[in-house]
Amino acid sequence: MVEEVFRWDTSRVATRRTLYVLAHATFAVTMVAEAASIPLGMGLQPAADTWLYALFALVQGLAGLAILRRHPGHPIGWLFLLATLVSSVMGDLGLAYGLRAQERGWPHGDLPMVLGLTAWLAGAVALPLTLLLFPDGRLPGRRWRLAVVPVLLGPAIAFPGWSLNPKLGSEFSDGTNPYAVPALPTDALFVTGMTIIALGLVLGAVAVVWRLRRSSGEVHQQLKWFAFAAAVAAVILPLSGVFWLTSPLAHVAAELAGMGVPAAAGVAILRYRLYDIDLVINRTLVYGSLTVVLGLSYAAVAILLGTSLGRGSAWVTAAATLVVALAFRPVRARIQDVVDRRFDRRRWDAVHRMDGFLERLAAGRAEPEDVVPLLRSLVGDDTLELAGRTPDVRHGHLAPEQSALLNELLSRGTLAVEMVGLRSELRLQLAEVEESRARIVQAGDRERRRIERDLHDGAQQRLVSIGLALRHAQHQLATGTGQVDQTLEASIAEIGETIDELRQLTHGLPPAQLDAGLAPAFHELARRSPVPVEVAVVRERFDRGVEAAAYFVGCEALTNAVKHAGATHIDLRAQRSNGSLVVQVNDDGAGGADPRSGTGLRGLADRVSAVGGTLTIASRPGGGTQLTAELPCGS
């Protein structure tokens, strides 16, 4: 948007490149003239003035050059640059040469002297024109063209009234103005010109206020920057004029206030988004008022105590300092409240509503979650949310002033915000616990129904069949009829199948020994073993399925080592490594174990694979067996 406002048609004057080079050349000439004026005029005028004039030229010149580097045809940039050129070449360098010429008798010193004493009128043109043209380089409207007349006419009338006035002779060593024209009404011309200049300044100030009241968005922010600097200058420059002849500080204050105008203009045009002008204005008013109040308080205490203790007493200074220190915080808070109420009503209302909410929260009359709708209302964003324990603030696109207000409100309401985060996290954890409990109950119910169904359809039916067969065998024994042996053989075979079916039915159920953890369960296995077992197991708890798989690995490996390998010593270890629970069983038995033979090791491999693990067996005849299971358990 700003780029569009400052899109200048420079084709009628010169190319962009030409303007770019011309701006840099003008700045370079200005700085050379200023650099030459410092040693030339040093000692002939107050050193503070010499350096302040140079600093002013540097600030205003840089502001103009910075604007022209971005927008080569911007009138305000050229106003700053050309006014600085005139001020440096005619004012600082010309005056320095004239003073030095008077001292050493150099030729042609009178004209530079007069021009140097008159160069300040260039600022009388540049300042009101800047007020009229800021920020886009255009007048506020066609009717405002008339306002340019006093801006140009005033300095034109004041110039002869000042430069040709015999009274200017007081600045010359011989007391005579060589260009004085006694016949001219120079005093009247000067007063008339200054009156018209004042009118031009008033019209410029009115233009700024007029734009400010009718602007919005980016232009409004730019105007705030410039209006602030202009207001500071409007307060300081008249005061410094009053004390100009009595206090050197008046010179310093005037120059610094004058520098603020081009500096603020440059910032407003180029970089205003980087800085919060409302905060700058607020803090300036607060700390300026605070300085005045505390300074007066210090003086009052010092005067009151000085009458009784003596002005030179150290106790007076100490007491006055103590009073100021104690009063700083409450006085600052009070002034801040007054400034916010008068100049930033929205912030004042928001802060007071937040403080009121915090008081209700502390008294138990409000809930922490009520801070969310309160923040939405105060900031003006219905999408604002607080999420997480920190918590994260989620919102739509906020303007800079909204974002600044939100940050301040969050800072003041830290307690409520953290309570919202903690309670939100607690609700999430409770919901997860409830969901987990529901899943456990559902899984238990499904498992119970499966076992009931399998028992009813399988083992129970087989047991009923075995009971009937045994009753039949009893009948055969009693009557001496039939083949009892065959009936009993069939019943025994049926019992074996029932045992296998029950074993398959209980496959996958975690053993009760794991209730206390994997380490106690492995130590229990070692105690029941008929051969010595050395156990080294991590005390950490793992997922129930992982612990069950690890336990069955240990059980099967110990059983095989004792029953089939004839081992005399067994090492049983379980440790976490690289995100896995590694279970390792070493024995000194016969070795030669083959996972392909028998169902025990195959079933163990299936169990390990079911939890995403791997099972490896190293067993050579006569060299013992090493069984290793790696079970993923997370990081």
Q: Is the model's pLDDT at 498 over the cut of 80?
A: no
Q: Is the model's pLDDT at 192 over the cut of 90?
A: yes
| Burial of residue 462 (number of CB atoms within 10 Å: 0-12, 13-18, 19+) | middle
* CA atoms of 73 and 23, how far apart (whole Å): 10
Give the chain's mean pLDDT: 80
Long-range contacts of 174-182 (CB under 8 A, 24+ apart): 177/114, 178/110, 178/114, 179/110, 179/111, 179/114
pLDDT tens for each residue of 115-171: 999 998 888 899 889 989 988 889 998 889 999 999 999 999 999 999 999 999 888
pLDDT category of residue 6 using cuts at 50, 70 and 90: very low
Interval 532-550 mean pLDDT = 88
In SS3 terms, 228-260 reads as HHHHHHHHHHHHHHHCCCCCHHHHHHHHHHHHH
Return the DSSP state at 532.
Answer: -
| Burial of residue 78 (number of CB atoms within 10 Å: 0-12, 13-18, 19+) | buried
pLDDT of residue 371: 82
Q: Is the model's pLDDT at 8 over the cut of 50?
A: no
pLDDT category of residue 285 using cuts at 50, 70 and 90: low
Range 338-353 burial, b when 16+ CB lie within 10 A, else e: ebbeeebeebbebbee
Interval 283-297 mean pLDDT = 75
Q: Are 165 and 177 in contact (CB under 8 A)?
A: yes
pLDDT category of residue 469 using cuts at 50, 70 and 90: confident
Strands 580-587 and 614-619: unpaired
Q: 128 Cβ partners below 8 Å, 6+ apart?
A: 150, 151, 197, 200, 201, 203, 204
Q: Is the model's pLDDT at 84 over the cut of 80?
A: yes
Q: 240 Cβ partners below 8 Å, 6+ apart?
A: 250, 251, 253, 254, 257
pLDDT of residue 454: 66
Interval 576-590 mean pLDDT = 90
The pair of three-digit structure tokens given for residue 513, joined into one six-digit string? 């020994």
Q: Give the whole-number percent of the chain exceeding pLDDT 70.
A: 84
pLDDT tens for each residue of 405-459: 778 787 877 778 778 777 777 877 777 767 766 665 676 677 677 777 666 656 6
- Residue of 183 and 603 predicted with greater confidence: 183
Q: Is the model's pLDDT at 5 over the cut of 50?
A: no
Sheet containing 580-587: order of strands: 533-537, 570-577, 580-587, 625-632, 614-619
CA-nearest of 257, 259, 221, 262 to 237 is: 257
Return the DSSP state at 265.
Answer: H
The pair of three-digit structure tokens given for residue 53, joined into one six-digit string? 């004039």
pLDDT tens for each residue of 325-354: 888 888 888 887 777 776 667 777 888 888
Interval 218-246 mean pLDDT = 77
Interval 534-557 mean pLDDT = 87
Q: Are 128 and 200 in contact (CB under 8 A)?
A: yes
Is the pTM higher than 0.75? The answer reads no
Structural class in CATH, domain 513-632? alpha beta
CA-nearest of 263, 256, 224, 229 to 66 is: 263
pLDDT category of residue 508 using cuts at 50, 70 and 90: low
Strands 385-387 and 392-394: antiparallel
Beta bridge partners of 625: 587, 619
pLDDT of residue 249: 79
* CA atoms of 282 and 417, how far apart (whole Å): 26
Question: Which region among 98-112, 130-144, 494-508 has the lowest average model confidence (pLDDT)?
Answer: 494-508
pLDDT of residue 458: 64
CA-nearest of 615, 617, 619, 618 to 631 is: 615
CA dist list (Å): 487 to 470, 479, 500: 8, 14, 20
Domain boundaries, the chain: 290-343, 347-412, 429-506, 513-632
CA-nearest of 139, 146, 260, 137 to 199 is: 146
